[in-house]
Structure 1
Amino acid sequence: MSGSDERLLATLRDFFTPGRPDRLGVAVSGGGDSTALLCLLASWRSDGGPEIAAVTVDHGLRPEAADEARAVADLCARLGVGHAICRWAGWDGRGNLPDQARRARQRLIADWALARGIGAVALAHTRDDQAETVLLRLARGSGVDGLSAMAPWRNAHGIDWVRPLLGTPRQDLRDYLTRHGIGWAEDPTNEDERHDRVRMRKALAGLAPLGLTAVRLAETAGHMARARAALDTVTAGLARDACRIEAGDVLIARAAFERAPEEIQLRLLAHAIRWVTSAEYRPRFAPLSEARAALAADRRRALAGALLSATRRVIRVTREYRAVASLAVGPGEVWDRRWRVLGPAVENAEVRALGPDGLRMLADPRASGLPHATLIASPAVWSGARLLAAPVAAGGSEWRAEPIFDAESFVQALFAH
């Protein structure tokens, strides 16, 4: 084994020490980076590394993609690695294709992993990818979180996503494949300058003489990641001390909130909105900052599916009724990603928001002591236009609303980047 090969394998071993998983998934597109990661993991497996299984997502967007997926399957067969191909057929020709494809890829891979009891999936992002991400986010005016770029580890969709090669140059992986006579596919979209990332990749060559190298940009991401971790820790402390959960709302003690630095206020507010709405992304800075100013002036604001209001003592972040007005699921199913309503078997029963109409049907709509906005956005059981139960707003029936959250999950979610 060459010294270069040993250094790459040492990178993998060091990344997973301590806490090496017994089984590890690896996402393989067939490109050079993910092919190299697959082969390195297979080599490590033979020397005490974890068992591995590979997955390829065929987005169905290029005619070559199916052949590339089959080529990965052939390579896995030679390496003795289990492999599966997941196909996406969800593109309808509208919206942001790269974003929709990325989301679909994550869902498909997560479902594949969970079905096989695999708790972590390795991704082949490199130092070059990290540098490109920093440039992209600089161009978008990102703050600390955005400039921390891609995390070596994150939890999403019920599994861990790990990037063990995030400090490794892309060329080192291509050189590894060349030394071992292993081919890979080149995605033509990697040269298509209609994509921002491709333009940033090409811009890096011109920026390098100015000191803006991939190494420096990746270092910046590392500095920002440390700053982000520190800010998250302070925000979590404020969340523990100043926040409580009531009927799915986040209540923030206003005095403690207003004593905190502006950055911590914004971070806590953004987190509360994301937690109440189950959104993937935090609100953009400008509307978030404006909402904070409105609360300071005792004005309500709707933002990103949440309703923000303030009294003299408390800031309340509530699910916005308009965001859930059309949601309907069967009893026992998860409603709005946060509630499961359980009760007796009733034909044609479904869970929907209580809404203004349901609130008017309650015998004593003020008995719960909850605000109007909280009540109308709470889950209720309906049979057509007939209200069967409002377990959050009224209680006292055979139906109960079980929250898929608690106060500790609110705090811990701050760290799930």
Structure 2
Amino acid sequence: MCKDPHGKAAAPIGDEELAGLFHDLKSYFPLTLAVSGGVDSMCLMHLVSRWIERQMHNADRQVQVVTVDHALRSGSTAEARLVARQAAALGLPHKILVWEGDKPATGLQQAARHARYGLIREYLAGQARKTGGGDMPALVSAHHLDDQAETVLMRLARGSGADGLGAMGRKVHAHGLVILRPLLEVPKARLLATARERDIAFMEDPSNANRDFERVRLREARNVLDELGLSSRALALSARRLARAARAIELAVDDLIARSDLKVHDCGYVSLQFAPFLHASEELRIRLMARVLRAMNGGTGRSGAPVNLEKLEDLVTALDSPDFSGATLQRCQILVGRQERLVVLRESGRDGLEARLLQPADSIIWDDRFCLSLSDHFDHALEVKALSGADWIELKRKYRDLEEAGISQRLAVTLPALWQEDRLLAVPALAAIVPNLAGPQVHGRPVINIKVSLLDDLPALSGSVK
């Protein structure tokens, strides 16, 4: 029998509760469920399927399931296939996405989280391109009440501010996705009871017993915390109240963004009027910079992650100084540019920016700043990588308009360039200055399309300071 922390039998989730749990999801169709094979996400998949069956009579479900196989242990493929079989039994389309390549020796959980969201985002972006969908895709996660409490405790140990202690929201914009958490008020014990009553098969993740992970140690301390009054429900209640206060502050940040004339430029950088920024309160300046840095921080394994509060405080203090001459944070350069505008550029770093292959009829998110797509009328894959300093010098020699546009080399070397073998085919971010850099055309239409993807993220990236 599954019990809550007080020893009482936990009740399974009944059909009569589904309408209340999932009502808000109706506004976000089509939905993608993130299902790993563990009890939480398997319950989510079965309960959402049952809700649709009861409420919508199976009409045009518009729900699919994705599973990310992190390839970190031998059983991960079997877990993904278990999800596939159960999704098929429920009549839900399912896709397995594999995290390929080398895995880091440290920070594995954080890197896996970034890879997971990146794979899902790119997969959904490809679907949207094929179907013509333009809205930010919605991803439904199975985070529950006990996850929320653990997050509060972990952030409390780090000295977090209101955003961090506000923990996870029922709806957030992150990683280029709308992330929905309908089970956030449901205790883990009720999900276990639900799985037993409905005979839902699931897999146990061995890492849940690994004391190297902070969450595991916190779970082991649950009984002691409950005796002190720090129950999951009490911690989640505090998180909800702090999140409410943080949302009110973020409305003031929205107003500061408007007053500062914040602009996202075609070349993938951000600028804003310095004077209104300097006259705002310290808290609003910290939060605005957090939004910008979080949106700009692509391709480093930390994208979508919160920005360190102590480092942000130091940056805002430095910006107050009349001697401020520039700074770097989160692989971004912060400097004062022309016409007294504060400019935030991507920094290429010692390792450079990522190189990717772009296939015909496909799209990719490059460096979390640009969405690039290649027409199916083009019959070769193209390599996407940043311009080098030598490439930039050669382009300026060839196209004098680039020199006159005043684009600096430190900006140019953060732009995506598309190559066919050793031949530079396009730098589409510069096409407004030099149309020839848009790349080839077929039947009068470009085969390469580009969009600054942080335009999707920046307005919604509230709660960026942890």
Normalising by the smaller structure, the TM-score range is 0.7 to 0.9
Q: 1:4 to 1:192 in 2, by over 3 A?
A: same
One-letter identity of the residue aligned with 2:287: R
Q: Which moved more, 1:85-94 or 1:383-392?
A: 383-392
Residue number in structure 1 paired with 2:23: 14
Match for residue 74 of structure 2 among 53, 56, 63: 63
**3-state secondary structure, aligned to 1:25:** strand
Q: How far apart, in 2, do the equivalents of 1:34 and 1:407 lie?
A: 29
- 1:68 Cα deviation after fit: 3.3
Q: How far apart, in 2, do the equivalents of 1:358 and 1:132 lie?
A: 48
Q: 1:232 to 1:356 in 2, by over 3 A?
A: farther
- 1:73 Cα deviation after fit: 3.6
Q: Which moved more, 1:135-144 or 1:110-119?
A: 110-119
Q: How far apart, in 1, do the equivalents of 2:110 and 2:274 lie?
A: 37
5+ long unaligned stretches in structure 1: none
Asked if 1:286 corresponds to 2:310, the answer is yes
- Write the deviation string for residues 124-157 of structure 1: whole angstroms up to 9, x where unpaired: 1110111111111111222222222222223445
Residue number in structure 2 paired with 1:99: 110
- Write the deviation string for residues 278-328 of structure 1: whole angstroms up to 9, x where unpaired: 443343222222222222222321222222223794322233354795666
**Contact 2:430/2:437 (CA < 8 Å) preserved in 1?**
no
Q: 1:206 to 1:44 in 2, by over 3 A?
A: same
- After TM superposition, the structure 1 = structure 2 runs for residues 9-408 of structure 1, keeping only pairs within 5 Å, are 9-16=18-25, 19=27, 21=29, 23-49=30-56, 51=61, 52-92=63-103, 94-113=105-124, 119-156=137-174, 158-245=176-263, 248-278=268-298, 279-297=303-321, 298-310=324-336, 313-320=340-347, 322=349, 336-338=367-369, 352-353=386-387, 355=389, 358=392, 367-369=404-406, 373-374=410-411, 395=433, 398-399=436-437, 404-405=451-452
- 1:349 Cα deviation after fit: 11
Q: 1:33 to 1:244 in 2, by over 3 A?
A: closer
- 1:70 Cα deviation after fit: 3.6
Q: How far apart, in 2, do the equivalents of 1:130 and 1:89 lie?
A: 30
**Contact 1:306/1:320 (CA < 8 Å) preserved in 2?**
yes
Q: Which moved more, 1:244-253 or 1:405-414?
A: 405-414
**Contact 1:34/1:123 (CA < 8 Å) preserved in 2?**
yes
Q: Which moved more, 1:323-332 or 1:197-206?
A: 323-332
Residue number in structure 1 paired with 2:8: none
One-letter identity of the residue aligned with 1:81: L
**Contact 1:368/1:393 (CA < 8 Å) preserved in 2?**
no
Tell me the C-alpha RMSD between the 2 structures.
4.1
Q: Which moved more, 1:288-297 or 1:69-78?
A: 69-78
Q: How far apart, in 2, do the equivalents of 1:171 and 1:159 lie?
A: 29
Q: 1:280 to 1:204 in 2, by over 3 A?
A: same
Q: Which moved more, 1:179-188 or 1:349-358?
A: 349-358
5+ long unaligned stretches in structure 2: 1-10, 440-448
Match for residue 459 of structure 2 among 405, 412, 415: 412
- Write the deviation string for residues 322-375 of structure 1: whole angstroms up to 9, x where unpaired: 479566679998765546799xx9xx9987446488459656987335667546
- 1:175 Cα deviation after fit: 1.4
Q: How far apart, in 2, do the equivalents of 1:386 and 1:82 lie?
A: 39
- 1:241 Cα deviation after fit: 1.3
Q: 1:172 to 1:359 in 2, by over 3 A?
A: same
Between the aligned residues of both structures, percent identity stands at 31
Provide TM-score, normalisation by structure 2: 0.73
**Contact 1:359/1:376 (CA < 8 Å) preserved in 2?**
no
Q: Which moved more, 1:250-259 or 1:328-337?
A: 328-337
- 1:238 Cα deviation after fit: 0.8
- Write the deviation string for residues 238-276 of structure 1: whole angstroms up to 9, x where unpaired: 111113435544333222112211011111122223334
**Contact 1:232/1:414 (CA < 8 Å) preserved in 2?**
no
One-letter identity of the residue aligned with 1:262: E
Q: How far apart, in 1, do the equivalents of 2:87 and 2:428 lie?
A: 53
Q: 1:388 to 1:100 in 2, by over 3 A?
A: closer
Provide TM-score, normalisation by structure 1: 0.80
Q: How far apart, in 2, do the equivalents of 1:63 and 1:19 lie?
A: 39
- 1:47 Cα deviation after fit: 0.9
Q: 1:350 to 1:134 in 2, by over 3 A?
A: closer
- 1:83 Cα deviation after fit: 3.4
Q: Which moved more, 1:277-286 or 1:173-182?
A: 277-286
Q: 1:235 to 1:397 in 2, by over 3 A?
A: same
**3-state secondary structure, aligned to 1:399:** helix
Higher RCO structure (Cα 8 Å, ≥6 apart): 2
**Contact 2:33/2:66 (CA < 8 Å) preserved in 1?**
yes
Q: How far apart, in 2, do the equivalents of 1:333 and 1:66 lie?
A: 25
Q: How far apart, in 2, do the equivalents of 1:405 and 1:364 lie?
A: 22
Aligned length: 410
**Contact 1:59/1:101 (CA < 8 Å) preserved in 2?**
yes
Q: How far apart, in 2, do the equivalents of 1:355 and 1:349 lie?
A: 18
- Write the deviation string for residues 201-225 of structure 1: whole angstroms up to 9, x where unpaired: 2223211122211011111221222
Q: How far apart, in 2, do the equivalents of 1:7 and 1:373 lie?
A: 59
**Contact 1:128/1:214 (CA < 8 Å) preserved in 2?**
yes
- Write the deviation string for residues 87-133 of structure 1: whole angstroms up to 9, x where unpaired: 33434352322122222332344455555669433221110111111
Q: 1:229 to 1:300 in 2, by over 3 A?
A: same
